Structure formats: structure tokens, C-alpha cells
Chains A and B, each alone.
Chain A
Amino acid sequence: MIRKLLLLLLVALSCAAPVSAAGVLNIDIYGPGQTRVNLFVAEALAKESSGPVGAIPGNAPAELQQRIHANCAFLPFFNMLTGKDIVGGPNPGGYVAQSIDFNKFQLSRADVLVTAAWAPRPGGVGEVELRAYEVYTGRLIVGKGYGVASSQQIPEVAARFCADLMEALTGQGDFFRSNIAFIKKEGQRKQVYMATAQGLNLQKITNLDGIAVSPAWSHDGQKLVFVFLDKKYHNLCVWDRQTRALEKKRLPGNTLIAPAFTKGGNVAISLDMRGNPDIYELKSDYKVGRVLEENWGIDIGPDFDRSGEKMVFVSNRLGNPHVFLKNLVTGQTKRISLTGKYNTGPSISPDGSQVVFAQMVNGKHKLFLVDLATGHERQLTFGPGSDEDPTWSPDGYFIAFASNRSGPSQIYLTTKHGDEPILIPTGPGEATSPAWGKL
């Protein structure tokens, strides 16, 4: 994501030791037992005096502190501490290791401390140095400086810092660098929107007279494909993120279902040209190309791993909808949802090792995860309502999904471990069909 922000990476702070050498906290987000660490985001200080920030316009320092706190609260491996949790008061006393009173943070069981130091900047909001320390050793995990021209840049600064912090701790920071497209209901119409995975930078992509369904990103995150239902036809729509141009195509047959991009950048989609929905790969000119899956029954919902070798899809060839895996190299197809009678909406992890899908349990849909190596299947979500349309994050750790657990459908976030779902705020109106894309 390249933004026209005037963010400047000022300095690789002189005290920034290489993270790899620091031997600091290391959180294995993929392993079986997830570590939880306590994180505290301290109030900002003035760079010059280490005292209260005074000369920074508006509420920027407090906003940045809150935004970093809110961002980190999305990460299930962080337990967020507040000022009340810090014995002896939350003021760190300084913003660099030498002047920070680490003892009281140790006593307060904080594992990671984030400090902010602001300096005024003529013509802008200011310059801020953000640091994250491992409390136990006092070592620096991440240290970054940013020039902030306007307060609108605060969320971007927070996202960049949190991406670096997450990456330093887990090896993955894409959560703060990726977007989720989804469908939002507006009266009788449904439109495509996108936002960051934290629900920021909400953008409306379409303004169509009808129903948009099933958005999916290209593997490079530059194109978004979806189906648009107008008063008479199904249309294929492709939106280009760079040009913001929307192409609309009619395809053979009457019914277009659940498109996805192949690794090569072509669209795979179910068409009913032969009397029932089969999965085809379209050529670059959107003419129908090769058949990816053909059967007497319903075949829909293709999703591909990063290598492009594995395709998951839904078929009712055995009577009920089930999830199948096709190896596109060998052509072999096998059923991978082994329990239940209604399994739909599969999403395969980018590394091709796991598949998440929705299974109907007592009339409601719940997310299930199947490990392809072992065939082991387990339930990920348990709340009230229905959880549908799961989509993997690019790092293969998070799973976003639509749920009506708290009323009208909204987008939620869990992880491959089944962490407690967190709402991604996307404003008023029903939100469904999340599709996680890259930068």
C-alpha cells in the first residue's frame, strides 16, 4: 500500500539494536500453544524534556496512543494493560531505556512497553519517536521515527508502527498492511466496500443499482472481482485498484457464482452454461477457458492457495453441499469436510495447509478448520448466530468472517486457533462477505 502521506522515516534510531540480535520476546503465532504477553502503551512525552507534551497541536499524541492501543488489542497474543494496572502510576519517566523505570512495569507484569516522544514540527503536527521495549531485559524491540504533517496521518503512523512491532515479535506484520473488501447493504442495494483489517480507511467502491456479491482479490491485491445481480442478469465485475475503473461483463449462461482469481491472474467462476454450475477459468479477455471442475451437481466457490496448485470448492455431488479439494497438477479431487450435512464457503490458507469453512450446526453456521496433512477437523467458532464466509489473512494467521452473533451481520476476526472473535467496525449497515487482500 503506497500512500500519498508525507510520512518520513526520520532515523533508524541510534539506540536501535538489531531485533534479531536482541533475543527478545518471540511469539509463535502458528504453533499450538500461543503465548500471551502483557502490553502497555504509555502516555506520550515531550522529546526535549521527557515531561508532558505541550506544544503539539490538537490531540495528536493522545490519539496516537489510543490508536496503537486499539490496534494491538486486535492481536489475540496481547493482553492490553491500562494505566490502572501499572503499580506506581503509568508514567514511564522517560522514553529511552536509560531513563525508563522498568522495575514498576515488571512489578505490574507488563512484558512489552511502548513509549512515544514528540517534538514540534513547524508547519506540521510534529515528529514522533515510537519505541517498544521488552520490559524484563530493557531491550529495544522496535524503534521508529515519523514526521506527521496532519492529524489524518495518525492512523497510518499507528498502523506502520504496529506492523513493525508485530513483525518483530512474530515474523508477520501484514495484518496492519492489508485490506478487507466486503459487501455492505444500503436499502435494497448491496455495494462493495473496503477498509483496513482494523476497520479504518473505509472506502465505498461501487454505486450499482442492484446487488453486489462475492468479492475476491487478485493474488497481488490489485484487482477485485465480484458478481453484480441486476434486474435481469448476473454480471461479472472487475475493479482495478490503481485506476479505480470498473469493468462489467456478461458471460455465457444465466448464473455467475463466486468468482476468484487464479495465481496467474485469471478469473475462476461458476457458470451454468451446461445446465448446472461448473467451475471455469476465464482467459485474460474474459472468454471462457478451461474447465476447472465439472460435475452433474453444483460446483461453486473456488479458492486457491499461494502456489496455485490447490483449489478448494463446494459441491453437492454426494447429495449435500460439501467441501472438496482439487490438486490442479494431478487432477485429483477429494472431499475434505467429513462431518455435517451442509459445508460451504471454503477458504484455503495461503500456504495450502489448512482450510476453513462454514458448517451448519443445529440450523446455524459455525466455522470449522481442517488440517490437510492430518485430515483433522475442529470447530473454530461457537457464539450465537451464524458465522459465514471465512477468509484467510495473507499471513495465514487471522480469519475474517461475517456473523450475525450480535444482530445484523458484521465482520469479525478470529485466528486459526479460534481466538475470541473481535468486531471489525465498518459503520452502520449489514456487512457480509469479507475478502482479505494484500497491500
Chain B
Amino acid sequence: MKKLGIFGLIVLVFCLAMAGGCSKKVSSTPAGATAAGAGDGSGAGQGGLTAEQLEAQRLAELQRQAIEKIGADKIYFAFDSNELTQESRQVLTEKAELLKANPALSLLIEGHCDERGTNEYNLALGERRARAAYEFLVLLGIDSSKLQIISYGEEYPAVQGANEDAWSKNRRDEFKASAN
């Protein structure tokens, strides 16, 4: 009964976390192991997962979602500019919250440019763009040792095309979080 009580608690916590954890993708996450363990009422000692394992799994899932969320939103810049827009600051603030909630994550910030500038100057501009995000995240309290920047200049456009629509999507920072 006590064992079941603990399990019930874990399932409850998990469900709350999922519900409050913001993502609509929760329902499609592979939570099968947890559900099975709770459903048949079997205990950890009977071939199921221990509470620690379940907790670890839960955290891993949360982390995976955080990595995905951090990577999903890019920030964009004006031509030859590394100024953060109000929208970019909002996006970075959300990333900072996710990083704080997942202290094991480190973040690679990639600075990119459109093709109109020249290659070498774009490497410098990409650095300025990546650094603008880096400095804002540090201001928000993220440990700088968790952050790394790299400039790719115009080498990896997100969108092909020689028009403002494509260029505006290529003047960007991308964010790659990882649990190292």
C-alpha cells in the first residue's frame, strides 16, 4: 500500500509536471514505461522501474523537451546589425528560463548572416550576433561557462534565395543546447 502510495505520488507529480511543463507534445512523449508501471500496480522490485529511475527518466524527458524548445526559436537581425529586437529579447528570456530550469544544459549560439555582405566581414558580423545573444543571456544570470558562441558567417543559410524574404531568415542566431 505504501509502495502504491509512492507510485501514485510519482504519477501525480509526473502528470502535474507534464501539464505545467508547457508542451502540448507531452501526450505524444514516450511515457509508456511510467504508465505501465502505474497501471498494473507492480512495484519496482517486481521488474518495473525504481523511483529513482522513473525520476531520472522524467528529468531526461524534460531536458529533451527543453533542448528542443531552446533550439526551436531563432532570433533575427536587420542587415549589417547585431542589435537585439524586443522580440529577440523575449525569445532569449524564455531560453534563459529553460536553461535555469535545466542546469545540466550548455548552449552553443551560432551567428549567421545573409549572403549580401562579404565572407570575412560576415564572419565578424556573425560573431557580433552570437555575442549579442550570449551577453544578454549572461545578463539574465546564465553562467557564461555554459555558453559558447560560433560564427558561421554566410556559410550555412537557413533558406536559399536572393531576395529579402530569404535574407531576413538567414540573418539569425541559432541555439543548440546539449547536456554535456
Contacts and interface: CB of A to CB of B under 8 A. Distances in A.
A321 B80 CA distance: 9
A344 B108 contact: no
Interface stretch (B14-22, B31-39, B49-57, B148-156): B148-156
Contacts of B152: 211, 229
B125 interface: yes
Contacts of B149: 254-255
Contacts of A360: 116
B121 A321 contact: yes
Nearest to B135: A275
Interface in B116-140: 116-121, 123-125, 127-128, 130-131
A388 B153 CA distance: 15
A272 B128 CA distance: 10
A229 B80 CA distance: 21
Main secondary structure of the interface of A (DSSP, over half): strand
A298 B123 CA distance: 10
Contact of B80 (A234, A320, A363): A320
Contacts of B128: 276, 298
B116 A363 contact: yes
Main secondary structure of the interface of B (DSSP, over half): mixed
Contacts of B155: 190, 211, 213, 229
A272 B131 contact: yes
Nearest to A254: B149
A433 interface: yes
A389 interface: yes
Residue among B120, B148, B150 facing the most chain A CB atoms (10 A cut-off) = B120
A402 to B, nearest CB: 9
A363 B162 CA distance: 11
Interface in B137-176: 148-153, 155
Contacts of A358: 118
B130 to A, nearest CB: 8
Nearest to A183: B119
A211 B122 CA distance: 14
Size bin of chain B's contact surface: 20 to 34
Contact of A432 (B80, B117, B119, B150): B119
A345 B123 CA distance: 12
Contacts of A393: none
A258 B108 CA distance: 22
A255 B118 contact: no
A414 interface: no
A232 B150 CA distance: 7
B150 A214 contact: no
Contacts of A389: 118-119
Contact of B120 (A190, A211, A214, A234): A214
B92 to A, nearest CB: 18
Residue among B116, B123, B131 facing the most chain A CB atoms (10 A cut-off) = B123
Interface in A323-381: 342, 344-345, 358, 360, 363, 365
B81 to A, nearest CB: 11
B120 A229 contact: no
Given A211-B155, A342-B80, A277 B124 contact: yes
B32 to A, nearest CB: 33
Contacts of B120: 213-214, 257-258, 300-301, 314, 344-345
A196 interface: no
Contacts of A272: 127, 131
Given A211-B155, A277-B127, A298-B128, A388 B150 contact: no
Interface string A171-195: 0000000000000000000100000
A270 interface: yes
Interface string A211-227: 10110000000000001
Nearest to A270: B124
B121 A314 contact: yes
A233 B119 contact: no
Contacts of A301: 120-121
A255 B119 contact: no
B125 A232 contact: no
A388 B80 contact: no
A277 B123 CA distance: 10
Interface in B3-38: none
A255 B127 contact: yes
A233 B117 contact: no
Contact of B119 (A298, A320, A388): A388
B148 A388 contact: no
B118 A298 contact: no
Contact of A233 (B123, B131, B150): B150
Contacts of B148: 232, 254
Contacts of A234: 150-151
Residue among A298, A358, A360 facing the most chain B CB atoms (10 A cut-off) = A298
Interface of B: 80, 108, 116-121, 123-125, 127-128, 130-131, 148-153, 155
Given A255-B149, A298-B121, 13 more contacts: A190-B155, A213-B123, A213-B153, A234-B150, A298-B125, A300-B121, A300-B123, A301-B120, A301-B121, A342-B80, A344-B118, A344-B121, A365-B118
Interface of A: 190, 211, 213-214, 227, 229, 232-234, 254-255, 257-258, 270, 272, 275-277, 298, 300-301, 314, 320-321, 342, 344-345, 358, 360, 363, 365, 388-389, 432-433
